[in-house]
Amino acid sequence: MITVALDFDAEVFNTLHMAPAEFTNELRIAACIHWYTQGKISWIRAAELAGLTRQAFLDELMFRQVSTGSASTETNEPDNAHKLQKWFGSVPSLATVDGVAWQRALRDEWP
């Protein structure tokens, strides 16, 4: 494994209200989502590189309101946004709900 070191001003952690380890994880996930949206890697590979399960990565995409359209075609499974639209008729803005609690509730209630 190759290690890459990046230098950040300590104020970054205060501004984002994150510990360095949490920031590192966030940076890894954000990079993988970016590469996925750019079409450079598949969503499955992005999930692996981010250190997430496939479902957790799809949940991250939904939470961040990133289109999962191409993700569904890679596995022939409907993406989360389509599941929500089918169930609710529309996808509510995550700015108006507690996204994490809402996702957990949906996961528990879906057949």
Structure-block tokens of residue 109: 């209630």
Domain count for the chain, please give it: 1
Q: What does pLDDT average to over the chain?
A: 76
Place of tokens 């209200």: 17
Do residues 4 and 24 make contact, with C-beta atoms less than 8 angstroms apart? no
SS3 25: helix
Do residues 45 and 55 make contact, with C-beta atoms less than 8 angstroms apart? no
Backbone torsions φ then ψ of 47, nearest 5 degrees: -60, -45
Say if 41 falls within a structural domain.
yes
Residue 53 belongs to what domain range?
20-109
Say if 37 falls within a structural domain.
yes
Say if 12 falls within a structural domain.
no
Say if 8 falls within a structural domain.
no
Say if 1 falls within a structural domain.
no
| pLDDT tens, position by position, 18-51 | 999 999 999 999 999 999 999 999 999 999 999 9
Say if 11 falls within a structural domain.
no
Higher pLDDT, 69 or 97: 69
Say if 80 falls within a structural domain.
yes
**pLDDT, average across residues 74-90:** 52
Say if 57 falls within a structural domain.
yes
